[in-house]
Every structure is written in C-alpha cells, then in structure tokens.
Amino acid sequence: MKGVRLRLLALTVLGISRMICGLAAYAVPAEELMAEARGEEAAGNSQKAVALYEQWLEEYSGTEGSVDVLLHAAPLCREGAEVLSFMERNLLHIPTADYPGVYERMADLESALGRLNEAASHYEQAALRGYPGADRCRSKILVLRLQMGDYAHVLRVGRELSMKVSSPVLRAENLAVAALAAGLTGNSEKALSMVEEAVGLSNGATPLPLLVKMDISRLAGKTDAYHRAVRKISSEYPDSAAFYLANEQIRRWATPFLLENNSRMTLPGAPVQTGAFSERSSAALLREKLENNGFSAWMEKSESDRLWRVFVHDADGKVRARLEKQGFIQTAAH
C-alpha cells in the first residue's frame, strides 16, 4: 500500500513538473509573438502587425487581456469595414464577459459609417448582456432610430427611458431626443413642453436639451424661444463645445443632415424660398444668417438651372411675414 502511494505521489509530482514546463513553453512564444507584432507596428508595417496580432489572438484564445490586444490591433486596419471584419472574426478569442464592450465599439464605428441597422443591433446585443454601459447603449439606439425616421418609436421609448435609467443625464437626454421626435412629426407644442421638462431634468449637467430646444424652436417658428435657448447655452456653458455649437450653427449631434440633405418632404409645412445663387458659398452664407436669426434653413441645388436655392421651413404658415419683417425677403406688392 505504501508503495502504491509513493508511485501516485511520484506521478503527481511528474504531472505538476510537466505542467510547469508546458506553461513556460507557452509563455515564451506568446511574448515573442507579441514583441514581433509590436516591432512591425513601430516600423509602420500595419498589415504585418495586424496579421501577427491576429495570430496571437488565435493561438492564445481566451487569455486574460486578449480584449486589449483586439481593441489595439483593430484600428490598425486600413478601412472601417476591415476594422469591423477583424473585430467580428476575433470576437470568439476573447472572454465572453468582454463581448459587450466590443459590441459597443463596433456599433460606434458602424454608426459613423452609416450602417445604422447594424449599429442598432450591436448596441442591443451589448445592452442585453448585463453590460454596465447598457443604458448608454439604449440611448444611442434611440438616436439611431431618430436618424432612421422612426419617430413614433423614439417618442414612446425615449419617454420610457427618461423614467427608467439611473443616470439623471441620460434621463434628460432621452427625453430631449423624444421631444425632437415629437417636433419632427409636427407636434410642436408637445415637443416644446417635453424639451422644457428635459431642460429641468438636466439641472445644467448636459447642454443637449437646450440644443434640442433650439432645433424644436426653429422647426416650430418660435424665434423668441430659439434665442432664449442660445442665450442660456451661452451663459451656462461659456467657452464650451456646446457654446460653439449653439452660436456657430454647426450642430451635428443626432440629425447631421436634417436641414441640409433631407428633401423638403421630410418636414411638415411648405418651404419658403429666400434666395437663389450660382455659387454655393453665397447660398451657404445666407443659410447661416437665417439660422443665426432662428429660422430652419437648408440649401438645394437645382439640376435644371444649376442654381443653389435657399429655403426656410414654414411650420406655422407665418414664416414669410417674419422673413419680410427681418428683411430677408421683400414685402409682397399689394
């Protein structure tokens, strides 16, 4: 019996010894492969570096820290589509607990590339996995749905999220996005009421509700409300990005082509033409002046005469009178 125990002990020691040797043999190549990948990256050989990083991920799949390798290597790819393909291919080589963060990164890039449905799907996958950033992902989905024109969904879900999420900033921002959806469906009074509520919820923690208030006020033709929002941003967020967004009219937070590239049928109400120019720069200058005075303006190039025309959104049928009063168009002869 004693001899059996000794033999078992010897086998156990031998097994442990072999395991230790195996780990040592495993660790050295991993370090060498990583060093080689970093060397190629430092030399500017991005393609070789990406291939080596991918080899490392395949050979040492599931290793702690593999998600860091994945997120480091992916941006070395040449094109956005290649980045997404690299991340999709190698997702199975990282711990499943790290999937949500990668899904969100993928969705961010897909959103930037205009792949809105794919982005929404990946944000949803991230949110469903107990991710700490789940509420943020749901807010991003809301903005995507707004861009896709799903206003009824945004109005309903935005209101729900404004009551459910834990972050007061996200509560205010979700309600603001829902308010913009209401404005885009022509319900300006409801939109203004909701955005005022969102401004109150934000308690100065985020300028987004005020930026939305500017958009809604312009869509509704509420020039005074528009200017009040601009002044509030200027006083509460001086020298901030929001200040420049408000005063320079370069807002691109959720509807980057709302008033430039969308057709005139996107918004309720008939447009009013304020000018026609052979040079785009002249049309852009007029559009900027109009927006700085609280009007929703956009430009269209006519294929027939190649002129750039500037239009103003008429939400309430009274915009022509306001344009005449401010000297943007001549008073009609009687």
Domain boundaries, the chain: 32-132, 147-256, 264-325
pLDDT for the residue 179: 95
CATH architecture group of domain 32-132? Alpha Horseshoe (1.25)
Cβ-proximal residues to 296 (8 Å cutoff; 6+ apart), any chain: 215, 218, 219, 259, 267, 312, 313, 315
Residue 135's pLDDT band, with cuts at 50, 70 and 90, is: very high
- Residue 4 is predicted with a pLDDT of 40
pLDDT score at 244: 57
**Identical fold between 32-132 and 147-256:** yes
pLDDT digits (tens, 9 = 90+) for 64-79: 889 999 999 999 998 8
Which residues, at least 6 apart from 83, have a Cβ–Cβ distance to it below 8 Å?
74, 75, 77, 109
Domain at 147-256, CATH from 1.25.40, 1.20.1690, 2.40.50, 1.10.3470? 1.25.40
CATH of 264-325, one of 3.40.50.720, 3.30.70.1070, 3.30.70.1350, 2.40.30.10: 3.30.70.1070
- In angstroms, the Cα distances linking 96 to 100, 131, 313 are 8, 11, 49
Mean pLDDT of 248-270: 42
pLDDT of amino acid 209: 92
pLDDT at 254: 34
Q: What is the mean pLDDT of the chain?
A: 81
pLDDT value for 220: 83
Read off the pLDDT of each residue in 241-248 and give the average, rounded to a whole number. 56
Query: What pLDDT is recorded for position 9?
Result: 42
How far apart CA 102 and CA 133 sit, in angstroms, is: 12
Phi, psi of 32 (to 5 degrees): -65, -40
pLDDT at 246: 56
pLDDT at 291 over 60: yes
Confidence of residue 242 (pLDDT cuts 50, 70, 90): low
Look up tokens 């006519």; give the residue.
302
Q: What dihedral angle (degrees, nearest 10) is formed by the CA atoms of 182, 187, 190, 191?
A: 40
pLDDT at 114: 83
Residue 289 is predicted with a pLDDT of 81
Min mean pLDDT across 98-102, 107-111, 202-206, 220-224 is at 220-224
Percent of the chain with pLDDT over 90: 44
Single out the residue of 57, 69, 67, 55 nearest to residue 102, CA to CA: 67
Is the model more confident about 41 or about 221?
A: 41
Of residues 55 and 222, more confidence is placed in 55
Mean pLDDT of 52-60: 94
Q: pTM for this structure? A: 0.66
Instruction: Report the pLDDT averaged over residues 241-246.
Output: 58
